[in-house]
Amino acid sequence: MNTPDLVFRGRRSSRDHALVLAALPPSRDAVRTAVADGADLVGFAGSGVEPLVAWTRETFPDLVIGVDTEDADVAAACCEAGADLILARADLVDVAARFGAGYAASDVSGAVARGVPAEGVLRVVPAAASLPDDVPVLVEVAGDGSPAGLALAALAASAGAAVIRTTHVRETRHVAEMAASIAGTRPPAKAVRWE
């Protein structure tokens, strides 16, 4: 269950469990909390987040920062401010290629041929979908803070998802680590012997 090495503008992300992408509201406190809770990546949606991207890059230089948009101008401005990954809601491959940024979308065919680094490409799929094995997968879990959502996150992690996108970082991180421990690719945080 080792996640593949993912590289977003020189920032390498590799773990023994699925990585956790915090889908955040645009606030510095939300970023600090997500990092404290164990987020491997953070993502901001919408326009006007460029100053927050710049602050996050300065404050957490090794953190992978994503922008969730369908607007090429917003994606470009965020990459200029320090974003490493475009969570695309439209065809933004050319923007990702221009900045050497990672690219996550439901359709990533042709992304590498158009200049996106292969180690930064993620296919976005819903948690209940079967996971393709041609590229690493970013899973979006509906109801991710509920018991059902956390169960879906555990199943996705067990099935080999590289990244799980969530608004509930701490809980999802525990689920991803637990799934890896059960699979035997990560030692448990605390081993308890039952007699």
pLDDT in tens, 110-134: 999 999 999 999 999 987 677 777 8
Give the C-alpha separation, 7 to 137, whole Å. 14
192 pLDDT more than 80? no
The percent of residues above 70 in pLDDT, for the chain, comes to 92
Q: Is the pLDDT of residue 170 over 60?
A: yes
* Predicted local distance difference test score (pLDDT) of residue 3: 60
Write down the mean pLDDT value for the chain. 90
pTM (2 d.p.): 0.90
Any alpha helices (H) in 47-159, and if so which ranges?
50-59, 72-81, 93-99, 147-159
Q: How confident is the model at residue 140 (pLDDT cuts 50, 70, 90)?
A: confident
- Give residue-wise pLDDT tens across range 26-81: 999 999 999 999 999 999 998 899 999 999 999 999 999 999 999 999 999 999 99
By percentage, how much of the chain surpasses pLDDT 90? 63
Predicted local confidence at residue 1, as pLDDT = 45
- For residues 14 and 18, the model is more confident at 18
Distances (CA, A) of 117 to 70, 99, 122, 132, 142: 20, 10, 11, 19, 29
The distance from CA 180 to its chain's CA centroid, rounded to whole angstroms, is 17
Domains of the chain: 6-183 (3.20.20.20)
Residue 98 has pLDDT above 70, yes or no: yes
Mean pLDDT is lowest, of 100-104, 110-114, 175-179, for 175-179
Provide the token pair at 133. 């094995």
Say how many C-beta atoms besides its own lie within 10 A of residue 25's C-beta: 12
Residue 145: how many CB atoms within 10 A of its CB? 14
The residue ranking higher by pLDDT, 193 or 76, is 76
